[in-house]
């Protein structure tokens, strides 16, 4: 099923008599029941005002099309959405709806915010086929409940996104990366923390243990980047990597390039940065990568490993991103919530999709 308008999509949903799997570009590895209800036919940027930093697009618009339109005006999606294709071995075209539905954010999340922080408004079709709108296209809006946030990261369990409005930002003129030697995770987190506590607006802080270097990114106008790079180097040491190389590194970090050719299950953990060294040790992974100053841990582990069981209770959550179907089925993609949160989640899903037709069992 591949409708081309919001009205067609709504009509299809209203007429459903069994569960469907919602897909955009199908690049983010969501398995589930057939048939597939694709939003990829809803294409096109409907409004772009560079002077107001806002862009509105239909949910099936390819991310590449949006990036190109923004690039032409020297702007960008500041939350730096990751491309999952390399990591998951999927093909297809990532769509803006998919990015929003999964709340995909990259390294700049620590400074600029997550996808959900840039989402100004949504249109979606609920489980009964009704078109609902929430939010709008202005940056400040507290009119009624913020269902915009609720839809971001709901992985299609509450509705099918048909249109999204986003805040965009100027693309920095230059960037530089400071590479600081760090023999272990604890030292790396200390270095990253010192950088993030500085006034120099570090927009990326990552650590790859295999290289033994923490990377700190600074972006902005050239003169300002040079100044802050100097000041930061005085504070934490290291050597500077220039603009082009820097962009390349952060592209690789964003897409977790280091794990692409590595066999094994891939987990993604959001933790308190200071807890990262201890948690990383407890995972005893084959391969680790740290982003968000230590607050985001990527772990590659032997197939079938239950990382949540290894960790027991910790502050944060662990998501299973890459595994074979039986492991995904057994362990579940998302960390189970406590009873109270589960009951709220199920309650909301029941209200938004009373017949239970959307992405059943994926979340909650």
Site for another protein in 244-273 (CB under 8 A): 270-273
- Whole-angstrom distance, CA of residue 10 vs CA of residue 261: 41
Site mask, another protein, residues 10-29, x = CB under 8 A?
--------------------
- Selected from 2, 36, 88, 141, the binder of another protein by CB under 8 A is 141
Q: Name residues contacting another protein, limited to 338-357 (CB under 8 A).
A: 338, 340-341, 344-345, 347-348, 351-352
What does each C-alpha distance from 268 to 4, 234, 296 come to in angstroms? 34, 33, 7
d(CA 301, CA 289): 12
Interface with another protein: number of residues (CB under 8 A): 85
Chain positions 179 to 238 lying near another protein, rule: CB under 8 A, are 193, 196-199, 201, 221, 223-224, 227-228, 231
The stretch near another protein (CB under 8 A) out of 12-20, 94-102, 248-256, 330-338 is: 330-338
Q: Which is nearer to another protein, 40 or 70 (CB)?
A: 70
* Sole binder of another protein in the list 55, 147, 179, 253 (CB under 8 A): 147
Nearer to another protein, 46 or 211 (CB): 46
Q: How far is the CB of 91 from another protein (least distance, A)?
A: 27
> Which neighbouring-strand residues pair with 153?
none
With b meaning 16 or more CB within 10 Å and e meaning fewer, what string describes 16-50?
beebbbbbbbbbbbbebeeeebbbbebbebeebee
| Binding residue (CB under 8 A) for another protein from 46, 143, 211, 284 | 143
Candidates 89-97, 107-115, 178-186, 243-251: pick the segment binding another protein (CB under 8 A): 107-115
Binding mask 65-104 for another protein (x = CB under 8 A): --------xx----------------------------x-
Strand segments (E) across 17-73 = 21-23, 36-38, 45-49, 54-58
Q: Which residue from 149, 233, 257, 287 is in contact with another protein, where contact means CB under 8 A? A: 149
Name the segment binding another protein (CB under 8 A); options: 18-26, 38-46, 163-171, 259-267: 163-171
**Interface segment toward another protein; rule CB under 8 A; list 64-72, 114-122, 259-267, 324-332:** 114-122
The CB-of-32 to another protein minimum distance in angstroms stands at 18
Find the shortest distance in angstroms from Cβ 257 to another protein.
22
Phi, psi of 199 (to 5 degrees): -85, 15
List all residues 6 or more positions away from 347 whose beta carbon is below 8 Å from its beta carbon. Answer: none
- Whether cis (ω within 30° of 0) applies to the bond prior to 187 is no
If one asks whether residue 316 binds another protein (CB under 8 A), the answer comes out as yes
CA distances to 99, 106, 217, 221, 271 from 72, rounded to whole Å, are 21, 22, 24, 18, 37
| DSSP secondary structure letters along 231-265 | HHHHHH--EEE-HHHHHHHHHHHHTTGGGTT--SE
Which of 6, 80, 126, 229 forms a contact with another protein (CB under 8 A)?
A: 126
**CA distance linking residue 164 with residue 363, whole number of Å:** 22
- C-alpha to C-alpha distances, 13 to 32, 76, 97, 191, 322, nearest whole angstrom: 17, 33, 17, 51, 30
> Which listed residue (2, 116, 282, 310) binds another protein by CB under 8 A?
116
CA separation for the pair 257, 250 (Å, rounded): 10
Select from 86, 92, 170, 251 the one that contacts another protein (CB under 8 A).
170
Q: Which is nearer to another protein, 40 or 267 (CB)?
A: 267
Measured from the Cβ of residue 77, the count of other Cβ atoms closer than 10 Å reads 25
Q: Which of 142, 183, 309, 313 binds another protein (CB under 8 A)?
A: 142
**Contact stretch for another protein (CB under 8 A) within 151-159, 176-184, 239-247, 302-310:** 151-159
Helix (H) or strand (E) holding 199: none
When the beta carbons of 303 and 351 are compared against another protein, the nearer one is 351
């Amino acid at each position: 099923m591949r409708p081309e308008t919001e009205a067609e999509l709504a009509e299809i949903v209203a007429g459903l008599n069994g569960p469907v799997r919602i897909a955009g570009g199908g690049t983010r590895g969501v398995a589930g029941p057939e048939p597939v209800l694709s939003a990829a036919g809803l294409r096109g940027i409907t409004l772009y005002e560079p002077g107001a930093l806002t862009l509105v697009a239909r949910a099936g618009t390819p991310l590449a099309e949006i990036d190109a339109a923004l690039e032409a005006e020297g702007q960008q999606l500041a939350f730096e959405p990751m491309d999952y294709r390399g990591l998951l071995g999927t093909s297809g075209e990532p769509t803006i709806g998919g990015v929003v539905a999964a709340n995909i954010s990259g390294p700049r999340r620590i400074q600029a915010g997550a996808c959900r922080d840039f989402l100004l408004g949504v249109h979606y079709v609920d489980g009964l086929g009704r078109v609902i709108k929430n939010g709008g296209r202005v940056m400040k809006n507290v009119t009624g409940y913020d269902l915009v946030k609720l839809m971001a990261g709901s992985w299609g369990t509450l509705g099918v996104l048909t249109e999204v409005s986003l805040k965009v930002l100027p693309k920095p003129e230059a960037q530089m990366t400071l590479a600081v030697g760090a023999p272990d995770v604890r030292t790396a987190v200390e270095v990253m923390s010192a950088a993030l506590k500085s006034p120099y607006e570090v927009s990326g802080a990552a650590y790859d243990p295999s290289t033994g270097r923490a990377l700190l990114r600074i972006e902005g106008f050239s003169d300002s980047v040079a100044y802050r790079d100097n000041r930061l180097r005085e504070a934490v040491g290291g050597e500077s990597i220039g603009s082009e190389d820097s962009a390349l590194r952060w592209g690789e970090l964003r897409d977790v390039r280091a794990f692409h050719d590595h066999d094994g299950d891939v987990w993604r953990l959001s933790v308190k940065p200071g807890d990262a060294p201890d948690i990383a040790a407890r995972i005893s992974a084959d391969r680790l990568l740290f982003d968000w100053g230590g607050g985001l841990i990527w772990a590659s582990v032997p197939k079938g490993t239950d990382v949540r069981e290894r960790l027991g209770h910790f502050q944060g959550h662990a998501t299973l991103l890459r595994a074979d179907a039986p492991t995904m089925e057994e362990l579940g993609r998302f960390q189970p919530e406590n009873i109270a949160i589960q009951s709220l989640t199920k309650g909301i899903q029941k209200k938004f999709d009373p017949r239970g037709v959307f992405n059943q069992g994926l979340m909650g």
